[in-house]
A and B are shown apart, each in its own frame.
Chain A
Amino acid sequence: MRLLLGLVLLFGCVDTGVDPVELPVVASGVGPASFETRDGWTVTLERADLAFGPLYLCTAANAGDLCETAQAEMLDGVVLDLLDDEPREIGRLIGLGGVVRSVMHDYGLTWDLTGMAPRTHVDDASMGDHSFVVEGVAERGDERVVFHGAVAVEPIRPGSLVVRRSLSGTEITNLADEGTLVVAIDPRRWLDQVRFDELEDGAIEEGTQAWRAVVAGMTAQARPAITWKR
């Protein structure tokens, strides 16, 4: 029996193909410095809080319906202070080694397959049911606009996510070889095309040009940059 047990220990190990991974996810904003928009507005942000998550890493070149089974995921939702440019860990990425070609994530509002409507995914009352809460001052010559906004970016249907992007050029061949997933978010670009002079009482409200510009930046034109750090 002792011999048998020895043989089991010797040969009983199994090669399951890929390794499980658990990697830290760090995120950073851009700091409090002022910036200038395309229309010449100098914007100083006083608050830029973003709800982020969940996040899925996918093998498919295009995330979405082809990512029913993900390579790794961070299911927690967090609120990021985008005025803090120090990288900080926001969660752990749990998954399996292997190729990652695309990612998808929400901005704190998810629409589960079982849900009747999108719901907030972060536990922060100051965010309300919104993804991005921003406050600041825009100045252009004599013009000065104190603006504020709370933008909700919701999935369009149950089970879908608002950001689905391929990692062209930054895809990885084996997640198990990577160290840290770095998410860098630049809210300045989301405000770059906002016409602050058109804001009523400085409010960025749903349906306005400013709202559409911010959402376009968040979901298409200036999505969070995803890189790897070993």
Chain B
Amino acid sequence: MRVPFGALCVCALVATAAHAQEAHAPVPPRLVQSNPVVADVAREPVSVVVTLDATGGVTETALVASTGDEALDTRLLEAVRAFVFEPARVDGAAVPARITVQVQIVLPAIESVEAATPEEPAEPSDADPSDADAVAPSEPAPEAAPDAVEPAPEAELDADDEGFGAEARVEAAALRATGRGASDVEISRDVLEAAPAAEGADLLRRAPGVYVARAEGDAVGHRIFLRGFDAEHGQDVELRVAGIPMNLPSHLHGQGYLDLGFLIPEVVDSMRVLEGVADPRQGDFAVAGTVELELGVRRRGLTSRTSGGSFGSFRQLVLWAPEEQRDGSFAAFQMRRTDGFGDNRNALSGSAIVQQVLGDGPWRHRLFVLAHGSRARLAGFLRRDDVQAGRVGFYESYDYPTAEAQSGLAMRGVIAYEATNRQADGGNTQLGLWIGHDVFRLQANYTGFVERSRTNPDWVGRGDLVEQQNRTSSIGANARWRSRVYRPISWVNATVETGLSARLDAIDQAQRLIQAPQNTTWDERVDATIHAADVGVYLDLDLAVTDWVELRGGVRADVLFYEVDDRLGNFIPDFREDSYLLGYRRSAFGVAASPRASLTIKPTRFLSVLGSYGEGFRSPQARTLEDGETAPFSKVRSADAGVRLKLDDVVEARLVGYWTRLSDDVAFDPAEGRLERVGATRRAGGVLHVVTRPTSWLVGSMSVTYVDAELLEPPPPSADDPRPAFTKGQNLPYVPPWVVRADVGVQHALSPQLGRHPLRGRAGVGLTYLSPRPLPYSAEASPFTVIDASAGFGWGPVELSLDVYNLFDARYAAVELSYASNWDPEATRSRVPARHTSAGAPRTFFANLEVRF
């Protein structure tokens, strides 16, 4: 693959010097994964001699010739040490080897690289024979024998044929610094791919402390939990895809609403999760943290993946990644349908994502188009006592028209353009523009038959089928400028970055009660138009003091403006005589200033001590504002401290303690089907995250997250709400104190060659555990463990695999709520809060056939 412009590309030209026995042709080591290399300017290719042990691990690196830039030399060697190789083999046995990797440095940022190919006659290995003895004690130690090493056939090393990680990838120097404390995690692609992902949102579970569930069904946003935060549909998690903010402000169904249904897992190239607040770039909704997804496709060509499975599920993916273009360019289409795993759950969705990277020289241009649509019938929440009494099945839906009419519809379109300029001195500039439109419609009945019409109080008992409509049109821009590296003194490197983000949203929203099946309207609750503007600026300073200390930080300020036309405001109750017309129009604004800083100390090459502190904010739901009110942002203060241990890419472990305080939290109110304020909250906890790659074909990741989340100042009882659901000092509802996630993936060639291609195999397992969670009104949700697994075989361009979700068929509630409801119109109404469950999917099989053209 050629690099038309600017990426930092590593063409690993490998010469092998493996130990080998005379009678057998050796298989040279293969470069299977590389890590980002930091380089500011384009240079001539650089050769690096790499010594590998019998496991493929890098034991020694050396430059053939210095670049003349000591810092660049160091960065190159560090980067190459993190490369992952499959070991050389002789007669099937792994042996130590030495190879020469030629690193070609060019601009721009992103490019893929094909697998290593043999270059020159192998040179003798100078590995200690004792190494070989340790590997294969029963056999004579392979001797360095240059004439015994034959270059492998080119086809054998072709990236396409090798598959399963045969492609290596190197990214350019980061456009900006990303290491922001102990909780800034890049989830690598091998971890993302280890366990099966039924949809794009499942990828988020790979991050520590994250749990994602389709609580209400397809076409309704995911419920996201992140490190002690029940982020509902996104209120506490800022999500950026290709640099575009995806949260929807002042959404009727939930502040910062996110529906990740558009996300196609196969095009997610990298995921950065910054838990807490530490980066001045983090904006609205970055309360629990920020997730940044970059999209790209490494396996070039045309790919078709057809999946069929349990409950009439079907998925078709068509992925086109032109060979001649860099891997940031692709077009993907996905269609999914299912009859659902129980009553009232059939769904159909389609997504298309197109990303085109263009440009030459220091300029790069990215065009991004997203289109998504989904409609689903929803089973809704069931009273747990009804399930236990057998009045309704766990996977069923209530047998009333008002329950059977539950459904959701989502449509979203985004068009974005981004230009990036990288200067020769390392400075860079970015400008992005985007527009988006989102349509949301929900029919959901959470409470059964308890509502009374405000418009006409005699209208009762018609079923609490809430209809919500929300339409958001958005336009936004972001820009940033980052300086070159300044060296005020020889051991200090400094860069400065300034950035700007702006967005304008026009939101129409309505909420009504409707009576199924005719969908006649029997009450109106919301009818409003909102205009919101958010302008944010930040300053970011990056200091590297010697090689051991990094200090990053700055400040961010956001100004938000709101104009609200609340057409049902100043509601006139039925018993009061009209003396004015309905409506309440108002405007408000607010300013949020937030300092952020992170510190990294590297006492050794393996160990880092990290800390960060930051303040962030969440914008208010505009309809809650009064005229002229200074918008009461929910302010979060977040501190993290921890250590990171990295042992030659074999093991990377982080142990982090964190503390956050949120000035004004919100929780879901089922009666209204939206979020309501619950007061200040505090969280303290810890995270243990370990990623290990003991061999080139095995990756394991495990995270354990604990949180003590406390409600500090719940709203006091009032005339409107004399029986608040929350009490001071209680654990935060819905938040699991413990979240455990483990992923294991293996992939390996099963035979050296089967006809024209080797037979490949892979398998993966993902485990999620959630401990008991407190619910409102003293209830407690049950813990659960869910295991997903997959296994597949590939041969040439064809791959056949089987995914099993919820392998042991655990019966669990994806989400539990506690509130008063009445789902038996013939019985006396219960008014005491009860547990309600939304079923998690039972064991589900998916057979997949992937063909690459």
Contact check: which of A68, A99, A101 meets B831 at CB < 8 Å?
A68
Which residues of B441-462 are within 8 A (CB) of A? 449-452, 457-458, 460-461
Which residues of A74-117 are within 8 A (CB) of B? 75, 77, 94-99, 101, 110, 112-115
Contact B833 A69 (CB under 8 A): yes
| B268 close to chain A: CB less than 8 A | no
Contact B729 A110 (CB under 8 A): no
**Alpha-carbon gap, A35 to B708, bound state (A):** 63
Closest chain B CB from A174 CB (angstroms): 11
Residue in A closest to B710 when the chains form the complex, CB atoms: A15
Q: Give the residues in chain A near B828, CB-CB below 8 Å.
A: 54, 75, 77, 110, 112, 121
Q: Give the residues in chain A near B832, CB-CB below 8 Å.
A: 69-73, 94-96
Contact A73 B831 (CB under 8 A): yes
On chain A, the number of residues with a Cβ less than 8 Å from chain B's Cβ atoms is: 45
Q: Give the residues in chain B near A61, CB-CB below 8 Å.
A: 722
**Alpha-carbon gap, A96 to B461, bound state (A):** 26
Which residues of A1-27 are within 8 A (CB) of B? 4, 7-8, 11-20
| B401 close to chain A: CB less than 8 A | no
Residue in A closest to B707 when the chains form the complex, CB atoms: A11
Contact B730 A113 (CB under 8 A): no
Closest chain A CB from B826 CB (angstroms): 8
Contact B738 A8 (CB under 8 A): yes
Given contacts A66-B722, A112-B829, contact A20 B461 (CB under 8 A): no
Closest chain B CB from A118 CB (angstroms): 12
Contact A112 B461 (CB under 8 A): yes
Interface 1/0s, chain A 183-225, versus B by CB < 8 A? Answer: 0000000000000000000000000000000000000000000
Interface centre among B450, B457, B778, B822 (most CB of A within 10 A): B778
| A131 close to chain B: CB less than 8 A | no
Interface 1/0s, chain A 31-74, versus B by CB < 8 A? Answer: 00000000000000000000000101011110000111111110
Q: Give the residues in chain B near A101, CB-CB below 8 Å.
A: 722
**Alpha-carbon gap, A96 to B723, bound state (A):** 11
Contact A14 B738 (CB under 8 A): no
**Alpha-carbon gap, A54 to B829, bound state (A):** 9
Contact A96 B722 (CB under 8 A): no
Contact A16 B449 (CB under 8 A): no
Question: How many pairs, one residue from A and one from B, have CB atoms within 8 Å of each other in the complex?
Answer: 134
Interface 1/0s, chain B 356-370, versus A by CB < 8 A? Answer: 000000000000000
Q: Give the residues in chain A near B708, CB-CB below 8 Å.
A: 11
On chain B, the number of residues with a Cβ less than 8 Å from chain A's Cβ atoms is: 49
Q: Give the residues in chain A near B819, CB-CB below 8 Å.
A: 69
Closest chain A CB from B428 CB (angstroms): 44
Given contacts A4-B704, A70-B832, contact A113 B726 (CB under 8 A): no
Q: Give the residues in chain B near A157, CB-CB below 8 Å.
A: 457-458
**Alpha-carbon gap, A24 to B738, bound state (A):** 37
Closest chain A CB from B575 CB (angstroms): 11
**Alpha-carbon gap, A73 to B831, bound state (A):** 7
Q: Give the residues in chain A near B457, CB-CB below 8 Å.
A: 157
Contact check: which of B460, B720, B730 meets A17 at CB < 8 Å?
B730
| A179 close to chain B: CB less than 8 A | no
**Alpha-carbon gap, A127 to B825, bound state (A):** 23
Question: Interface SS of chain A: helix, strand, loop or mixed?
Answer: loop
Q: Give the residues in chain A near B461, CB-CB below 8 Å.
A: 112-115, 158-159
Q: Give the residues in chain B near A66, CB-CB below 8 Å.
A: 719-720, 722
| B706 close to chain A: CB less than 8 A | yes
**Alpha-carbon gap, A60 to B722, bound state (A):** 5
Contact A4 B740 (CB under 8 A): yes
Interface 1/0s, chain B 181-206, versus A by CB < 8 A? Answer: 00000000000000000000000000
Q: Give the residues in chain A near B469, CB-CB below 8 Å.
A: none
Closest chain A CB from B722 CB (angstroms): 4
Closest chain B CB from A147 CB (angstroms): 32
| B277 close to chain A: CB less than 8 A | no
Q: Give the residues in chain B near A60, CB-CB below 8 Å.
A: 719, 722-723
Contact check: which of A15, A67, A69, A95 meets B729 at CB < 8 Å?
A15
Residue in A closest to B771 when the chains form the complex, CB atoms: A12
Contact B831 A70 (CB under 8 A): yes
Residue in A closest to B772 when the chains form the complex, CB atoms: A14
Contact A14 B731 (CB under 8 A): yes
Q: Give the residues in chain B near A71, CB-CB below 8 Å.
A: 723, 832
Contact B831 A14 (CB under 8 A): no
Residue in B closest to A97 when the chains form the complex, CB atoms: B778
| B727 close to chain A: CB less than 8 A | yes
| B779 close to chain A: CB less than 8 A | yes
Contact A16 B778 (CB under 8 A): yes
Q: Give the residues in chain B near A16, CB-CB below 8 Å.
A: 730-731, 774-775, 778-780
Residue in B closest to A8 when the chains form the complex, CB atoms: B738
Contact A113 B771 (CB under 8 A): no
25 CB < 8 A contacts A-B: A4-B740, A8-B738, A11-B737, A12-B738, A12-B771, A12-B772, A14-B731, A16-B730, A17-B731, A18-B730, A19-B778, A20-B779, A59-B723, A60-B719, A60-B723, A66-B722, A69-B819, A69-B832, A70-B723, A72-B832, A73-B830, A77-B828, A113-B451, A113-B460, A158-B458
8 additional contacts (CB under 8 A) given A8-B771, A14-B737, A17-B729: A11-B706, A16-B780, A17-B730, A69-B831, A114-B449, A114-B460, A121-B828, A159-B461
